Amino acid sequence: VDTLRYAVIGHGNMGSAHAGQIFDGNVPGAVLTAICDIDEKKLAAAKEKYGDKIEYFKTADELFKSKKCDAVVIATPHYAHTELAIDAMKEGICVLCEKPAGVRVSDVKKMNLVARVSGVKFGLMFNQRMNPVFGALKMYVDMGVLGQIKHFTWIINNWYRTQTYYNSAGWRATWKGEGGGVLLNQAPHNLDLWQWIMGMPESMRAFCHEGKYHNIAVEDDVTIYAEYANGATATFITSTGEYPGTNRLEISGSMGKAVCEDGKIKLSLLTEDERFICFNSEEAMPKEKVISVEIEPKPLEEEHLMVLKNFTNHCLFGEELVAPGEEGIKSLMISNAAYVSSWKGKTVKVPVKESTFNRLLSGKKDISRDADSSKNPAAPTSNYSERWSVRW
């Protein structure tokens, strides 16, 4: 085959963007042949856009049986990813799945098992791996540019969301519909990049605050402290309730540090290993030579489009996948462990037992959202901006 026929399952925010890129011919070798959505309104919106140039399906089963596609992009709410992916794979259809791959580590292991057994291609939409800033950081760590890594710290709380966002779809921010909050919806990209650059931590203690800033059941404020087998440590702070937000990633090692903010990487490198300086310098607080370099790597093109191209080339020509399906297991191992640590109030080994996480998750209760924000426990009782406003 020299053309990959795609169907998109879930024509919502993300699925409609992916469908548009393929339909518009921006992915060489790919054509859009079908869209599937269980919501009639979403299908009607797609029909208005694409007319009779493609086919429409109300259920994924009908789509799979139709033999109209060689590959699917799954862009539905998280819990549905596992069943849809496995059913597609059983029909010999390749799967590119939106993040997170699933909710539970055990689900994503099953998806990978079926992909292996059925021999279909399985990739993930971890589009931020296409950002050259993170590619460069991974290369520095892999090549030892920063020496022995001591600490990884990421403040990633520019995922601000309002109550209107959470109210926009019934599945959002619920344990039963979404399976988690900021760790599962917004931060999976960052959790994936963390493990992609640093590898997996060995243990962690996490604090996941549920409904702290919004009227939601799931967590919207998280701090994770993690430890590595070689003594390195990591802190990961994320929230959807702070504005303006910060996205600052710092990796420090024995040869210096890399600080990444606003799309720039600032490298500050020593000429001698700090561990050597520590035990050989005659001064108490030496002033060492530091070489500073600032770079601003620019992406070649839009990240999601790059993943679509990479997956298509992988299916057609065997190009190496940037985000293979197995990688979806690792970021979930981190978030599943963070939940268990927070719910049990103790440090846990990573990964946690899958049965422990699955049991605790199924016991989580959803609160019902209240349209009246005055009844919202997270809503402020007074308007701070009125009390503290300064007239410039």
Under the rule (CB under 6 A), what is the footprint of ligand NAD?
9-15, 36-39, 42, 60, 75-78, 80, 98-99, 125, 127, 169, 185
With CA atoms as reference, report the closest residue to 72 among 43, 107, 97.
97
Indicate the residue among 135 and 177 with the shorter CB distance to ligand NAD: 177
Count Cβ neighbours within 10 Å for each residue of 124-160 and write b for 16 or more, e otherwise.
bbbbbbbbbbbbbbeebbeeebbbebbebbbbbbbbe
Indicate the residue among 10 and 211 with the shorter CB distance to ligand NAD: 10
Count Cβ neighbours within 10 Å for each residue of 36-58 and write b for 16 or more, e otherwise.
bbeeeebbebbeeebeeebbbbe
As measured in angstroms, the least distance from the Cβ of 202 to ligand NAD is 28
As measured in angstroms, the least distance from the Cβ of 76 to ligand NAD is 4
As measured in angstroms, the least distance from the Cβ of 248 to ligand NAD is 20
Listed in sequence order, the residues at least 6 apart from 323 whose beta carbon sits closer than 8 Å to its beta carbon are 123, 124, 125, 126, 129, 192, 307
Q: How far apart are CA 247 and CA 164, in angstroms?
A: 23
- DSSP string for residues in 269-318: EESS-HHHHHHH-SSSS----EEEEEE----SS-HHHHHHHHHHHHHHH-
Helices then strands, counting H and E runs in the chain, come out as 13, 15
Indicate the residue among 61 and 272 with the shorter CB distance to ligand NAD: 61
Indicate the residue among 75 and 208 with the shorter CB distance to ligand NAD: 75
Indicate the residue among 5 and 150 with the shorter CB distance to ligand NAD: 5
As measured in angstroms, the least distance from the Cβ of 332 to ligand NAD is 13
As measured in angstroms, the least distance from the Cβ of 77 to ligand NAD is 5
φ, ψ dihedrals at 132, nearest 5°? -65, -20
With CA atoms as reference, report the closest residue to 5 among 319, 304, 364, 312.
312
Closest-by-Cβ residue to ligand NAD is: 12
Indicate the residue among 55 and 250 with the shorter CB distance to ligand NAD: 55
Taking residue 121's Cβ as centre, other Cβ atoms within 10 Å add up to: 22
φ, ψ dihedrals at 305, nearest 5°? -65, -40
The encoded tokens of residue 9 equal 């399952």
Q: Please tell me what DSSP assigns to residue 9.
A: E
Indicate the residue among 99 and 257 with the shorter CB distance to ligand NAD: 99
Taking residue 106's Cβ as centre, other Cβ atoms within 10 Å add up to: 16
Indicate the residue among 60 and 255 with the shorter CB distance to ligand NAD: 60
Indicate the residue among 62 and 273 with the shorter CB distance to ligand NAD: 62
As measured in angstroms, the least distance from the Cβ of 58 to ligand NAD is 8
Indicate the residue among 69 and 348 with the shorter CB distance to ligand NAD: 69
As measured in angstroms, the least distance from the Cβ of 36 to ligand NAD is 5
The single residue listed with the structure tokens 């985000």 is 323
As measured in angstroms, the least distance from the Cβ of 275 to ligand NAD is 40
Q: How far apart are CA 14 and CA 188, in angstroms?
A: 15
Indicate the residue among 9 and 316 with the shorter CB distance to ligand NAD: 9
As measured in angstroms, the least distance from the Cβ of 347 to ligand NAD is 29
Q: Which secondary-structure segment (H or E) carries 32?
A: strand 30-36
Q: How far apart are the first and last CA of the chain?
A: 65
As measured in angstroms, the least distance from the Cβ of 385 to ligand NAD is 30
Cis check: omega of the bond before 286, within 30 degrees of 0: no
As measured in angstroms, the least distance from the Cβ of 216 to ligand NAD is 15
